[in-house]
Amino acid sequence: MLSYKNFIVLFATLLLLLLCNLAEVVTSLSTETDKITSLPGQPPVDFQQFSGYINVDETEKRNLFYYFVQAETDPSSKPLVLWLNGGPGCSSIGAGAFAEHGPFRAKGNLLVKNEFSWNKEANMLYLESPAGVGFSYSANQSFYDGVNDEMTARDNLVFLQKFLTKYPEYKNRDLFITGESYGGHYVPQLANLILKSSLKSNLKGVALGNPLLEFNTDFNSRMEYLWSHGLISDTTYELSQKVCNFSQIRRQAQQGFLSAPCRLVSSHMSSEIGKFIDSYDVTLDVCYHSVSQQAHILNQMADEEKIDVCLDDETTKYLNRKDVQKAMNAQLIGVTHWTTCSNVLNYHMDDLEVPTLPLLGTFTKSGVRVLVYSGDQDSVLPLTGSRILVTQLAKDLGLKTTVPYRTWLTDKQVGGWTQVYGDILAYATIRGAAHEAPFSQPARSLTLFRSFLEGKPLPDV
């Protein structure tokens, strides 16, 4: 017969087991509610997809929307990769997932398979951040006024922590944080918070495509790039060097007023480039029925196919379909239409001036691998600025060159150029790629992504 003390111990043990099982059931149920059975027009696939909301602020009722695509094969052994597009204020789902390296592309009423999807190598998590971007929202819409980097990084960390609670099988996975453009702020700032959290040991690498890392260097490289590619004249380039450089133009434009010298340079530049050049890929044709928006969310379904320069329109149309929103567990809160970049977010643009390059140095010192890569046809944040900054960072950190500047190859063609420092900091270009490199050079981008995850130099054979 059990003693009273033994009975209490047994009862407590059984209660604990019951609560643990109940927690697992609740987690499973919450995961099942976000599971996508099939997207409208989707081809058959073997991997699972999930999408929905995670609340990052109970008081403000701030909810971030995500799209999670498990790896095509053996997802239980593959790393978790979080992707953040830039803007600030542009969608990681509309751009990253549906126009760059997600599993599908919108084409008319259907989705077609992207043969170079990054979920071939990893479990891919796409996050629309901050609230006010895409399907993400705040019930208190006054939040949208004056959103800044600090708020965004904090919300992104809360999201990631809650995501890993919702999907506990990924808690102990290798974690990589990736992104592009203004992701040059989002990604390092989130990674910096991760290194101060319980997730520190999970973080293995950070990758940034055509990123904004340092305002003056990045933006001033633009005029030299435009001139070297024949888009502006010698006269305009000389004016930019003597009268008003591009970082001054950008800074003044953010403040809503251009001085006379900067207005002169800007006017010359605009008239010479014209309206039929996409600044995000200076060699690419534009979408005729959205030239006024300079649409640049494009795609190349395979090397032999022509790039779909109107993919942004196709994606926007697809994600605004009610049946698609229902399948993705998405809502439109405070807006009437889904847009690639937010029309309601009033971001604190002074944050563009805050350099994030020093954070990359912090990561390397913590043993976190860093990759900066550039699509070499981008004039918005050109390769020249990124390369200068990475070279200077390596010098400041005292890192020796471990892979000298050389070409890297894929499919027996030059994929781009690369240089590695201390086996922990790397720079690479993707030949023929745009600002959003994976849609214009998907095969080369996948090769780069695979090498990054494996921690190996880019192939030279």
Catalytic positions are 181, 378, 435
Partner residues linked to 74 by β-bridges = none
Phi, psi of 170 (to 5 degrees): -105, 5
Our separate counts of H helices and E strands in the chain read 13, 16
The whole-angstrom separation of Cα 461 and Cα 43 is 34
Does residue 387 contact residue 210 with C-beta atoms inside 8 Å? no
- Tally of CA atoms within 13 A in the half-sphere of 143 that contains its CB: 22
Rounded Cα distance between 178 and 50, Å, is 19
- Could you give the CA distance from residue 386 to residue 392 in angstroms, rounded to a whole number? 10
> At 182, phi and psi to the nearest 5?
-70, -5
Cα separation, 179 vs 187, whole angstroms: 6
Distance of CA 410 to the CA centre of its chain: 23
| CA dist., res. 286 & res. 308, Å (int) | 9
3-state secondary structure of 76: helix
Query: Token match 């992207």: residue?
Result: 114
| Token reading at 41 | 């027009």
- Is there a cis peptide before residue 43, judged by omega within 30 degrees of 0? no
Residues in the chain: 461
Alpha helix locations (H) across 113-181? Answer: 149-166
Two tokens at 32?
């099942």
Distance separating alpha carbons of residues 350 and 257, to the nearest angstrom: 15
Nearest-CA neighbor of 102 among 125, 136, 79? 125
